[in-house]
Amino acid sequence: MYMVNAMINISEDANQILNIVKARYNLKDKSQAIDFVAREYGGELLEPELRPGFIERVRKAEKGKFVKISNFARHYGAD
């Protein structure tokens, strides 16, 4: 896994939150706390097709059973 080094400036409140996350989840350092928070809440910001696991669910669905329909409107009575 490629790691990025970053020097950041955060507020005192953010620092306290990272310390709480670090302690609560028994993390080694604040870098792990930042990574945890980013992974935990980052999924909410991503589009569904970018979320981890989306491709896996699509591939699983592709293996499912399908019914071939030649005329969609006629099949569902929309004629």
Q: What is the DSSP secondary-structure string of 7-45?
A: -----HHHHHHHHHHHHHTT-SSHHHHHHHHHHHHHHHH
Average pLDDT over residues 21-29: 96
Greatest Cα pair distance, the chain, in angstroms, is: 65
**pLDDT surpasses 80 at 47:** no
pLDDT on residue 50? 65
Burial of 71 (0-12, 13-18, 19+ CB in 10 A): exposed
**pLDDT surpasses 80 at 57:** yes
Q: What is the DSSP letter of 57?
A: H
pLDDT on residue 66? 81
